[in-house]
Amino acid sequence: MSPLLASWDEAGYGVPPAEGSMLEDVLAGLSASPRRLPTKYLYDARGSALFESITRQPEYYLTRTELALLDAHLPAIADAVGPDVHVVEYGSGSGRKTERLLAALHAPLAYTPVEISQAALDACVARLRPRFPRLAMLPLRADFSRPLQLPRPPRPPARTLVFFPGSTLGNFTDDDAVALLAAMAATIGDHGCALVGIDLVKDAAVIEAAYNDAAGVTAAFTLNLLARLNRELGADFDLSGFAHRARYVAARERVETSLVSLREQRVHLAGQVFGFARDEAIHVEYSHKYRDERFAALARRAGLEVVDGWGGHAEGFGLRLLRRSAR
């Protein structure tokens, strides 16, 4: 395999969690009050595939709205970014948005998709490599919520562009979002930029429907987390004993997703027993919705500033271009 196609997995820099750390995270979360499970463990191979299916559900407005924004504004985005860039994408998924971006940019030099799921990473590269045969593909299997050491392109780029679409930032609490944005600032350096997707505050019914699709794909995605814990950690969750619940909490401007116990039950994991009451919830994911003032404030705390943007209230979604704040 060519070194330009090898998956870069640098020890100590964002390596996906091994079984030990996953087990530790899960035991700590199930022992907490209220109980919780880390969002990142939703994305095994099946979870990633289910999420791609979610993005195609009629209720899930986020992906099609963001794709429409990209189609409408990519010439302006390419001009703002400039030529000869190393594109680094956090959470690349299938690469549908990336394909549009790479095709529009002026002579991009290299592309590094960052994925915690090897299957998703392989699928992304397999999809994009034939489309961009002259572009250096430098996939990085990593947890992008941690500091990253990027693979080196064949020659130095003019700048680094971090591409973070899909409103994934909204899955983080404010403090964690600031930490991620600060790491992003370190990645792009003084001359780089970041293109970040943010879902904007809108009608609560529209938001809540997106996380409770009629086909039940989002419910399957959430419950797959328990199936993963059974398979990889030897837990004995009864999937029929838990249900997906996603509610928009207007006071916090976020969707709160949980797995709710449908009855009193006991779950065994690593020699420990966890008793669940009926209606007891395990928190799984936040999905924050932003106002531009709040997003700009988070960026400032991370040493970044919003220098351009596309999309707003009318679209219900935004793409925002960030650079390091002037010192």
Question: Looking at residue 146, which CATH number applies to its domain?
Answer: 3.40.50.150
What letters, b where the CB count within 10 A reaches 16 and e where it falls short, cover 253-285?
bbbbbbbebeeebebebeeeebebeeebbbbbb
- Token pair listed for 15: 């390596």
> Taking residues 86-95, what's their average pLDDT?
84
Residues 139, 115: Cα–Cα separation, whole Å: 8
Task: Give 244's strand partners.
Answer: 259
Sign of CA dihedral 98, 50, 311, 169: negative
Q: Is residue 291, in this structure, part of any structural domain at all?
A: yes
Q: Which residues pair with 141 in a beta bridge?
A: 115
Q: Write down the pLDDT at residue 83.
A: 97
Task: Answer yes or no: is 316 within a domain.
Answer: yes
End-to-end CA distance of the chain: 43
Q: Look at residue 122 and tell me if it is in a domain.
A: yes
Structure tokens at 52: 């791609």
Q: Is the pLDDT of residue 23 over 80?
A: yes
pLDDT of residue 91: 83
Among 51, 27, 21, 47, which Cα is nearest to 282's? 27
The pLDDT value recorded for residue 8 is 34
CB atoms within 10 A of CB 191: 12
- The b/e string for 52-85 (b: 16+ C-beta within 10 A; e otherwise) is bebbebebbbbbebbeebbeebbeebbeebeebb
Residue 254 lies in a domain: no
What local confidence, expressed as pLDDT, does residue 43 receive?
A: 86
- Asked if residue 5 has pLDDT above 50, the reply is no
Query: What global pTM score does this model have?
Result: 0.87
So what's the pLDDT on residue 94?
65
In this predicted model, what pLDDT tens digit does every residue of 168-194 receive, in sequence order?
999 999 999 999 999 999 999 999 999
Which residue segment(s) compose the domain that 17 sits in?
Answer: 1-230+287-327
Q: Is residue 155 part of a domain?
A: yes
Return the pLDDT at 39.
92
Q: What is the pLDDT of residues 317-327, one digit of tens each?
A: 999 999 999 86
Average pLDDT over residues 31-54: 93
Q: Is 280 within the bounds of a domain? A: no
Residue pLDDT, tens place only, 52-79: 899 999 999 999 999 999 999 999 999 9
Residue whose entry in the numeric block shows the structure tokens 């328990």 = 226
Question: What pLDDT was estimated at residue 20?
Answer: 53
CB-based contacts of 130-133 (< 8 A; 24+ apart in sequence): 131/99, 131/102, 131/103, 132/102, 132/103
Judging by DSSP bridges, how do beta strands 159-164 and 140-141 pair with one another? unpaired
Which pLDDT score is estimated for 293?
Answer: 97
Parallel, antiparallel or unpaired: strands 140-141 and 136-137: unpaired
Residues 120 and 48: their CA atoms lie apart, in Å, by 7
Within-domain flag for 327: yes
Instruction: Dump pLDDT digits (tens) for 245-301.
Output: 999 999 999 999 999 999 999 999 999 999 999 999 999 999 999 999 999 999 999
How many structural domains does the chain have?
1
CA distance 253 to 105: 34
